[in-house]
């Protein structure tokens, strides 16, 4: 649930630039997560279990 100010959600009080900044940061975070996941499984053979984690 989003916080409320009176009858409106906080998101409704955000300016255009702030919304764009939040959206850009969310997209960047998702891209980073995706890159980490892709790197983790990059050279694995499909259908085989992952090798033990190397320290």
Nearest to 24 by CA among 49, 32, 36: 32
Which H helix or E strand runs over 5?
strand 4-5
Q: What is the pLDDT of residue 42?
A: 81
- Residue 18 φ then ψ, to 5°: -65, -40
Q: Which pTM value belongs to this model?
A: 0.57
| pLDDT of 23 strictly over 90 | yes
Token pair 């984690």 is found at 53
- Band (8; pLDDT cuts 50, 70, 90): confident
b (16+ CB within 10 A) / e for 41-51: eeeeeeeeeee
């Amino acid at each position: 649930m989003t916080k409320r100010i009176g009858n409106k959600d906080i998101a409704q009080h955000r300016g255009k630039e702030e919304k764009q900044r939040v959206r850009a940061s969310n997209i960047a975070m998702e891209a980073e997560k995706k890159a980490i996941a892709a790197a983790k499984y990059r050279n694995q053979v499909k259908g085989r279990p992952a090798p033990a984690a190397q320290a």
